[in-house]
Amino acid sequence: MSLSLTKNSFHGKRKGPVVVIVMDGVGIGPAYPGNAVAAARKPVLDRLMATCPNITLRAHGTAVGMPSDADMGNSEVGHNALGAGRVFDQGAKLVANAISSGELFQGAGWNEVVANALAKKSTLHFLGLFSDGNVHSHIDHLKAMIVAAKKAGVAKVAVHALLDGRDVGETSALDYTKPFEAWLAGIDPNYGIASGGGRMQITMDRYDADWSMVERGWHTHVLAEGPRFPSASAAVEALRLQKPGVIDQDLPAFIVERGGQPFAPVVDGDSVVFFNFRGDRAIEISKAFVGAVPFERVRTPAVCFAGMMTYDGDTNLPARILVKPPVIDRVLGEYLVANGVRQLAVSETQKYGHVTYFWNGNRSGYLDAHSETYIEVPSDRVSFDQRPWMKAAEVTDAVIAELNAKPYGFCRINYPNGDMVGHTGVFEAARIGVEVVDLMLGRLLPEIAKLGGIALITADHGNADEMYEMDKKGGVKMENGKPKAKTSHTLNPVPFIIYDPGFQGEYALDTTVTKPGLANVTGTVLTLLGLNPPVEYEKSVIALA
């Protein structure tokens, strides 16, 4: 299929770039005391909302390929939709379908890990995020595989539980460990949780931001180094007493022992399934099992390793998978390359892969190094509530310098503050994070205007818009006399603002577009670049006069 696009009547009307600004995690939430977006002082955003064409976009559930509208959006699926202009069934839905249809258990990946465990009378390990957040994983997927392993005759199963507290309640770990341990004991007494720890302490690093997390995870799951407890639930309870106020994602690593010995470290001959379906926080630990890593592993067991899905399509990592990922083709970047539009993508490390890898349909590297520039600003390695400004100023510096240095037709930027600070559960820090993004808009928009460009300001999902759990009446849920923090994404819509200083009535919002979502942004970008979007894309939200 040709990637050539025809020109529309807007072609050549602006000399500057179309710039998509993603305010990660800044949704439009309810009017209640936990809305850090509403509480923030944000004169630029307030002015834009009052003076510029704007609508809200759906950024969760079926609008981004999740199984149902009860499922929150996330940065991965949001940036897939923004970059692809269409909605693809995403990891959670693909895995759920593969399990319900039985396809997962008929596939080569599953049968190889099971056959290895049976032939060598070894342990089948399941490692991954231990919750029903449905952003990186789902505990129901894990349980279905354990039932299938028992049916196949696997003698010993070990679960390595990465505690969440981020996509679910911040101190909800026992709500998962206690019933799961009871359920697992009923399946087989030789099945159990072997190790664990908070997802932001061990194993689940991304974008090479902090390999020491992966190293700590390796020492936990493989080398069985760390404090020992009789169960995962006992570990959670004891570690909370040792670190009062700690939330689940920051809990230290632990080992579960039986008979005075670690229950199940990973050893030669074992099978290992990493059961996260989302790729960004799965790549590094996968490399630890099947590739090269920048730390001393001490012991590297020969195992039969499988990922739930392909985590890096360019390197085919890992080679063995349980479920085929979505094939996201004909992304915006490919059309722009084919039609001679220079592109710029900028963010700091925490979201750099979102404006590159995820935006480009889960492909690493450049689509065309001659016409694209990607800039990564290294993130700080601190808890983001301590530095809620993150690297927003440096990202803005880089964008302004690059746009003034070279002619670009299209630019995409991600400010992670609303999301990464929102995940800490600290209200005041999240409020500051939103205010920082507003300050950056105040710096960036005049530069875009000077260049004769257009800015499209949006978000990939909500987060900072709900920093406290809500009770049934829409008020703040209290715990121990304090508001109960919420660290997960939200189901709220996100803003979409068109900032066009050169506007002379050439277009208007298209009221025939019902229930617009993030995928509609892509067609809008092409329309404002003077190109007719491909027919398979979701409609532009503007109609040319």
The mean pLDDT of the chain is 96
Q: What is the pLDDT of residue 206?
A: 87
Q: Say how far apart CA 179 and CA 349 lie, in whole Å.
A: 37
Residue 163: inside a domain: yes
388 and 438 both lie in a single domain? yes
CB contact burial 419-448 (16+ within 10 A = b; e otherwise): bbbbbbbbbebbbbbbbbbbbbbeebbebb
* Alpha-carbon gap, residue 386 to 501, rounded angstroms: 36
Question: CB–CB of 192/158 below 8 Å?
Answer: yes
535 vs 364 pLDDT, higher one: 535
Residue 451 CA to residue 17 CA, distance in Å, equals 8
| Dist. CA 432–CA 39, nearest whole Å | 10
Amino acid letter, 212: S
What's the average model confidence in pLDDT over 342-351?
A: 97
Q: Are residues 177 and 203 in the same domain?
A: yes
From 246, 277, 307, give the residue that closes a domain.
307
- Strand extents, DSSP E, 30-132: 54-57, 123-129
Per-residue pLDDT at 364? 87
Asked whether residue 25 falls in the same domain as residue 37, the answer is: yes
Q: What is the pLDDT of residues 510-539, one digit of tens each?
A: 999 999 999 999 999 999 999 999 999 999
Does 222 map to a domain?
Answer: yes
Asked if residue 269 has pLDDT above 70, the reply is yes
Interatomic CA distance for residues 130 and 137, integer angstroms = 7
Query: What's residue 314's pLDDT?
Result: 57
| Same domain for 353 and 297 | no
* CATH code, domain carrying 288: 3.40.1450.10
3-state class of 25 per DSSP? strand
Q: How far apart are CA 66 and CA 60, in angstroms?
A: 7
Q: Which of 2, 68, 75, 271 is catalytic?
A: 75
- For 101, the domain range is 92-307
Q: Are residues 116 and 204 in the same domain?
A: yes
Q: What is the mean pLDDT of residues 15-26?
A: 98
Are 35 and 132 found together in one domain?
Answer: no
Residues 41 and 55 in one domain: yes
- Average pLDDT on 422-427 reads 95
Give me the pLDDT at residue 279, please: 85
Interatomic CA distance for residues 162 and 253, integer angstroms: 9
CA distance 104 to 137: 15
Residue (of 363, 368, 465, 456) closest to 413 by Cα position: 456
One domain, residues 233 and 168: yes
Smallest Cα–Cα separation from 131: which of 329, 278, 313?
Answer: 278
- Let me know if residue 518 belongs to a domain: yes
For the chain, what is the domain count?
A: 2
3-class secondary-structure state, position 23: strand
Q: Give mean pLDDT, residues 403-429.
A: 97
Nearest alpha-carbon partner for 507 in 27, 5, 18: 18
Q: What is the pLDDT of residue 91?
A: 87
Of 18, 24, 14, residue with least CA distance to 395:
24
Same domain for 439 and 520: yes
Task: Transcribe 113-171 into DSSP letters.
Answer: HHHHHHHHT-EEEEEEE-SS-SSS--HHHHHHHHHHHHHHT-SEEEEEEEE-SSSS-TT
The DSSP annotation for 496-523 comes to EEEE-TT--SSEEE-TT--S-BTTHHHH
pLDDT one-digit tens code per residue, 228-257: 999 999 999 999 999 999 999 999 999 999
Please indicate, yes or no, whether residues 119 and 267 belong to a single structural domain of this protein. Answer: yes
- The whole-number pLDDT of residue 72 equals 86
Last-in-domain residue among 307, 341, 375: 307
Asked whether the predicted pLDDT for residue 58 surpasses 60, the reply is yes
Domain shared by 257 and 378, yes or no? no
| Packing angle of the helix pair 43-51, 427-450 (nearest 10 deg) | 60
Is the residue at 313 inside a domain?
A: no
What was the pLDDT predicted at 404?
A: 98
Most distant CA atoms of the chain, gap in Å: 77
Whole-prediction pTM value? Answer: 0.80
pLDDT tens column, 277-333? 988 899 999 999 999 999 999 999 999 999 999 887 657 789 999 998 788 999 999
By residue count, the chain amounts to 545
Domain membership of residue 97 (yes or no) is yes
Cα–Cα distances (Å) from 8 to 31, 252, 288, 479, in that order, read 41, 57, 50, 57
Looking up residue 445, the CATH number of its domain turns out to be 3.40.720.10
Choose the weakest-confidence range: 297-301, 409-413, 472-476. Answer: 472-476
Q: Is 75 a catalytic residue?
A: yes
8 A C-beta contact, residue 290 and residue 113: no
Is there a domain that residue 227 lies in?
yes
Mean pLDDT lowest among 62-76, 142-156, 215-229, 438-452? 62-76
Q: Where are the beta strands (DSSP E) in 49-112?
A: 54-57
Tell whether the torsion through CA atoms of 232, 234, 237 and 243 is positive or negative.
negative
The token pair at 352 is: 């750099």
Q: Is residue 315 domain-resident?
A: no
pLDDT attached to residue 313: 65
Q: Return the bridge partners of 470, or none.
A: 476
Query: By mean pLDDT, which of 91-105, 311-325, 375-389 is the weakest?
Result: 311-325
Q: In this structure, what are the phi and psi dihedrals at residue 54, rounded to the nearest 5 degrees?
A: -155, 150
List 498's β-bridge partners, or say none: 456
Helix (H, G, I), strand (E, B) or coil at 241: helix
Q: Is 39 a residue whose pLDDT tops 70?
A: yes
455 part of a folded domain: yes
Q: Please list, in sequence order, all residues whose beta carbon lies within 8 angstroms of the beta carbon of residue 324, skipping any fewer than 6 positions away.
A: 94, 309, 310
* Pairwise CA distance, residues 100 & 104, whole Å: 9
The reported pLDDT for the residue numbered 316 is 78
What's the pLDDT score for residue 239? Answer: 98
Could you give the C-alpha distances from 361 to 19, 81, 314, 371, 537, in angstroms and in order?
19, 9, 11, 18, 14
Over its C-alpha atoms, the chain yields an Rg (Å, rounded) of 24
**Residues 305-324, buried b or exposed e (16+ Cβ, 10 A)?**
bbbbbbbbbeeebbebbbbe
- The pLDDT of residue 171: 96
Among 70-84, 145-159, 382-396, 448-462, name the one with the lowest average pLDDT. Answer: 70-84
Q: What are the φ and ψ backbone dihedral angles of 377, each rounded to 5 degrees?
A: -100, 120
Burial class of residue 104 (count of CB atoms within 10 Å of its CB; 0-12, 13-18, 19+): buried
Does 184 share its domain with 302? yes
